[in-house]
Every structure is written in structure tokens, then in C-alpha cells.
Amino acid sequence: MRPCAFGLVLLAACTGETHFQNADPDDVQQEGDAQAGITPLELEFPDLEIAVAKSRLIQVVSMGETDLVVQEIRVIDSAGGVFYCAEEEDVLLAPGVEREFSVVATLYEEGLVEGTLRLKTNDPDALSVNIPLQAWTEGYEPSDTGPDDSAS
């Protein structure tokens, strides 16, 4: 069949109410629920030496009935490059499987620095989780009210 004739057959089969649309992968529903267990929900790097990197781990566990997909993990506020995490996308975790992701902090001056790590998953209760990051140098005593309180 020639392309023009195929188009006419397709056009004849469609009514004014027929619509074609690609499925958005984010809208695809699964049976059962994916559930993420994420620990810790905040990450601290205490007593760092200047220009010496230190790593800490974030653990993600698939606790639901279906596969958990870690769609994204990345530092969204690195405080000028202090925090680093190898960006990963679409990490599949079967039920009961856990995975650790390393976050690294390197301070270049004295004091406290804050940042944010974001995880996006297919868990309906944890679609996007922001994990606060804090790093401070040796001898610094962080307060409960945030960075640089002494400057007021």
C-alpha cells in the first residue's frame, strides 16, 4: 500500500473524537506500591579538616511490593562545590534490595556549610525527598538555629 493510501485508510478509521498521544512514563501506574526506606534523612560531616574530603552514605531500601526506581539522586545545593554525589538515574531496586549512595564533603574554609541532596523515586509517598547536608570544620560548634549565628 502506498503511503498516501495508508494515510487515507487511517484517516477514514478515525473519528473526530480519536486522539493519539504518547504515554508519559511518569504517569504509568503499577500494581502494588513501591516504598522507599531512606536513611539518614539528614547528613552531617562534623569536624572536617580544610581541603580533606570525607564521605558518608545514604541508604535506600525497597520496602514495597513492587520495584523501587530511584529516578534521580543529585546534589541540588552544593554550597559552592563543597558537597558532591555521583548523579545517578533510574536505579532499579527489587523488593527487599538496598543500595548505598556516597556523598562527599570537602571544606575550603573554616565554619559551617549547608547544602541539599535530592532523591526522586516512584514511591507515591516519597516522590521527591530533600536531604539537608551540613559540614563543619574541626573546633566549630554548630547551633540549632543555622549557620553563622555569631555574625548577628
Q: Convert the pLDDT of each residue in 64-96 to its tens digit.
A: 999 999 999 999 998 889 999 998 899 999 999
Q: Which residues contact 109 (CB under 8 A, 6 or more apart)?
A: 50, 137
2 occurs within a structural domain: no
In this structure, the strands spanning 128-137 and 43-48 are parallel
Q: How far is the C-alpha of 33 from the C-alpha of 66, rounded, in Å?
A: 6
Would you say 101 and 74 are in contact if contact means Cβ atoms under 8 Å apart? no
Full-model pTM = 0.71
CATH number for 65: 2.60.40.10
44 occurs within a structural domain: yes
23 occurs within a structural domain: no
9 occurs within a structural domain: no
Domain of 118 in residue numbering reads as 32-139
Would you say 82 and 135 are in contact if contact means Cβ atoms under 8 Å apart? yes
pLDDT, tens digit, for every residue of 52-67? 999 999 999 999 999 9
18 occurs within a structural domain: no
As for how many domains the chain has, the answer is: 1
